[in-house]
Structure 1
Amino acid sequence: MRLSERAQQLTPSSTLAITAKAKELRQQGHDVIGLGAGEPDFNTPEHILKAAEEAMRAGHTKYTASGGIPELKKAIADKFRQDNGLNYEPDQIVVTVGAKHALYNLFQVMLDPGDEVIIPAPYWVSYIEQVKLAGGVPVIVEGTEEQQFKVTPEQLRAAITDRTRAFLINSPSNPTGMVYTEEELRSLGEVCLEHDVVIISDEIYQHLIYGEEKHVSIASLGPDFYRNTIVINGVSKTYSMTGWRIGYAAGDARIIKAMTGLASHSTSNPTSIAQYAAIAALTGTQEPVDTMRAAFKERRDFVVKRLSEIPGFRILPPQGAFYAFVNVRTAIDASPFEDVDTWVKALLDEEKVAVVPGSAFGSPDHIRISYATSMEQLEKALDRIQRFVEKYQ
């Protein structure tokens, strides 16, 4: 049996690998604390669970339209209008099997071999692999710590070539938690408009922002931005529905039609029951979202304070999402470990704490810590991390 070239070029997801290793150790009886998974630790809110049960009882257990049921498309359109000031018709919206699926199908229908997609680093691990699977070329532009992990218009302009098809932006960001301001988004968007580069805006963490910062959809900055942007979102992070697998994309009707057609030959439709649950999430009470966001903010403040006290650690307080992206270069240099990957492995082996190496996100001086877990677990984990670091000082 021979694997295809695209299968052979795939790099396994570091986040899933770390999570799997932690689970394996836990099954062996070890007290492992996992800070790798990017999912809320809360259960899906009760009114959403109830909506799913009612959908099953009502017989909504069959195939649906590949691009999603009309009722969910309407709920998504209403969400865009209320939250983002954006108006989309049903033929401009496609419902997908998670936001990851939306991105995957988008690259598949947009890219020809050799087409380039500009991706800021640090980046979410799957962006690179999805572009490559579509025959595209990921072009990485580094957002340095000094720039709050954001890229500048000058960097973007310098990266554009005659093969550039799209620019991908993620705000709030996984893994850094940084949020682009309206002014920053406008400056980047104008470069894209100038060079006829499509903007892909991943807004999956839009409701998880803390403090003064506000989420702004780049598509809302004017008619030209609206026409040139594909927005990606979903219910996974906001409503603690990671396992339900409902995402969506909105934008140019031709792109959306192509994504829907691709889904019809691959996944058929997103799970019918999950679609009805997503309607309840988007249209029902938002109190559980406020409760989760308040808990994440409390955890963020605690984690930032504790991490800042660990020798050799440096951290920019994240503005959104639920990750702390920590510079551990000084701690690594003081240890016998040659790089962040071996350092992270030793932390898991010796202290049974799982974090994700920054190399997975294009940033080998960092680690990503998810604080989407209980305060008790965070306290224990940070005690162990500090003990591990101080052991090698």
Structure 2
Amino acid sequence: MPRPAPHIPGVPESGTRRIFELALTLDDVVMLVVGEPDDPVAPHIRAAAQAAWERDDTDYAPNGGIAALRRAITAKLARENDVSVDVEQVWVTVGGTQALAQAFTIALGPGDEVLVPDPGYTTFTMYPRSIAAVPVPYPLRPSRGFVPDVEELARLVTPRTRAIVVNSPSNPLGVVFDEDVIASLVVFAADHDLWIISDEVYEHFTWDAPHVSTAAVAARLGEQDRVLSVFSTSKSHALTGARVGWLVVPPGYGPTMRALQESMIACAGMPDQHAALAALEGGDAHIRAARERYRRHISLATELLDARGIRSHRPGGAFYLWVDVSHATEGDVAAWAERFLLDERVAVAPGTAFGRAGEGSIRLCLAASEDDIRRAVALLPAPDPAAIGGSE
């Protein structure tokens, strides 16, 4: 029987998906495990997709996406991100996940290394492994507010290092990097001649400071051509199942991207692209409403956790809460999360799904109902009263 390529067994399983899919087999589960907005899709977005189906607009699209959507994305980038690009630099993808895959494919070959945040989104580790590249974790430490240390990054660079992943607002921590931090990372990448893969999927959800796009900072430093920027409609417009994102590449990569798109997906689905076009052109009232709701949920959850003496990191963005349950997990938070699901019918993401630094922590997705948040927090194990303290 044929065997898979030697590097394939090294692709790690998603610890988040493992809990999620187990939860789907159970009844009456509070789902706080995956980044799934529970808002309904705005009516004008649903109507655009429905209209595409009704007029049978289901043929192949151009590899890069329909022209109207690509133009809308360039306008959005200029308006919201201070990023000026032409249409040929924008490539519509099957969600942000495929945009990440294309970015890694451009930047990495077999044996090449990429610096990835720890804790960090699972795909940052999974996809490089799937193409025989090597993800090298860089630590995000509570003592530094989960901001990377450039000196520590420099010690991780080897002759095989080709790229660094920057994620702000971050998943799972909700950390938002300010312009000075991003500038330091751009300078670091330039000093070591690295690609920057910038995941900005949670750009619309920041709480204390505005989102800053890596490409905008890089352009001011004359380094924009080393940035590959990843965006998505999944979180901002509650379109996780429609699967529309985009990758922004430097000038001159049109032929490369055309070949990569054709070989990987050919194109994103036409009804989905029309939904995304309506999302970008239909105003942001639904985004603003979701933002305020998530802000309330973060305040509610942190207050409930504080009252029970359970430590958490209050995020600057995204809609997650990073919670310390090390007092209950006995050094294996993944096993604890599974037991917690089976015993209490609450699905949470184990911290180790996002890297070794996540041991003892869990991620709660607060894009859920207040009732579900209250129920989940009430069931979390509290530490011994002698250890009670506030949030970090």
Measured against aligned partners, the alpha-carbon deviations of 1:187-242 in whole angstroms (never above 9, x if no partner) come to: 111111122111111000000111x2110011112152322211100100000000
Q: 2:321·2:364 contact (CA, 8 Å) conserved in 1?
A: yes
**Residue number in structure 2 paired with 1:110:** 107
Q: TM-score, normalised by structure 2?
A: 0.93
Measured against aligned partners, the alpha-carbon deviations of 1:287-315 in whole angstroms (never above 9, x if no partner) come to: 0000111111110110111122334x321
Which consecutive residues of structure 1, in runs of 5 or more, have no partner in the other structure? Answer: none
Q: 1:121·1:143 contact (CA, 8 Å) conserved in 2?
A: yes
Secondary structure (helix, strand or coil) at the match of 1:118 reads strand
Cα distance between partner residues in 1 of 2:256 and 2:198: 18
Partner residue of 2:349 out of 348, 352, 356: 356
Cα offset, 1:33, TM superposition: 1.0
Cα offset, 1:331, TM superposition: 3.4
Q: 1:201·1:230 contact (CA, 8 Å) conserved in 2?
A: yes
Partner residue of 1:382 out of 349, 352, 377: 377
Secondary structure (helix, strand or coil) at the match of 2:7 reads helix
Cα distance between partner residues in 2 of 1:366 and 1:200: 26
Cα distance between partner residues in 1 of 2:55 and 2:342: 49
Secondary structure (helix, strand or coil) at the match of 1:219 reads helix
Partner residue of 2:338 out of 345, 351, 355: 345
Q: Where in structure 1 do 4 or more consecutive aligned residues deviate above 6 Å?
A: none
**Residue number in structure 1 paired with 2:71:** 74
- Report the AA paired with residue 169 of structure 2: P
**Residue number in structure 1 paired with 2:244:** 246
Cα distance between partner residues in 1 of 2:203 and 2:280: 14
Give the CA RMSD over aligned residues: 1.8
**Residue number in structure 1 paired with 2:296:** 298
Partner residue of 2:216 out of 211, 217, 220: 220
Cα offset, 1:155, TM superposition: 1.6
Cα distance between partner residues in 2 of 1:302 and 1:159: 39
**Residue number in structure 2 paired with 1:366:** 361
Q: 2:8·2:129 contact (CA, 8 Å) conserved in 1?
A: no
Cα distance between partner residues in 2 of 1:223 and 1:261: 30
- Report the AA paired with residue 9 of structure 1: G
**Residue number in structure 2 paired with 1:328:** 325
**Residue number in structure 2 paired with 1:3:** 4
Matched, 1:131 2:124: no
Query: 1:253 and 1:82, CA in 2 relative to 1: closer, same or farther beyond 3 A?
Result: same
Identity of aligned residues (%): 33
Q: How many residues align?
A: 381
Cα offset, 1:59, TM superposition: 3.4
Secondary structure (helix, strand or coil) at the match of 2:201 reads coil
Cα distance between partner residues in 1 of 2:335 and 2:7: 28
Q: State how 1:1-393 maps to structure 2 within 5 Å.
A: 1=1, 2-26=3-27, 31-210=28-207, 212-221=208-217, 222=220, 224-255=222-253, 257-311=255-309, 313-332=310-329, 337-362=330-355, 363-386=358-381
Measured against aligned partners, the alpha-carbon deviations of 1:308-333 in whole angstroms (never above 9, x if no partner) come to: 2334x32120111111111222333x
- Report the AA paired with residue 213 of structure 2: S
Deviates more, 1:377-386 or 1:61-70: 377-386
Q: 2:168·2:199 contact (CA, 8 Å) conserved in 1?
A: yes
Q: 1:353·1:385 contact (CA, 8 Å) conserved in 2?
A: no
Measured against aligned partners, the alpha-carbon deviations of 1:52-110 in whole angstroms (never above 9, x if no partner) come to: 12222333211111121111110110010000111111111111101100111221232
Cα offset, 1:6, TM superposition: 3.3
Secondary structure (helix, strand or coil) at the match of 1:47 reads helix
Cα distance between partner residues in 2 of 1:41 and 1:322: 12
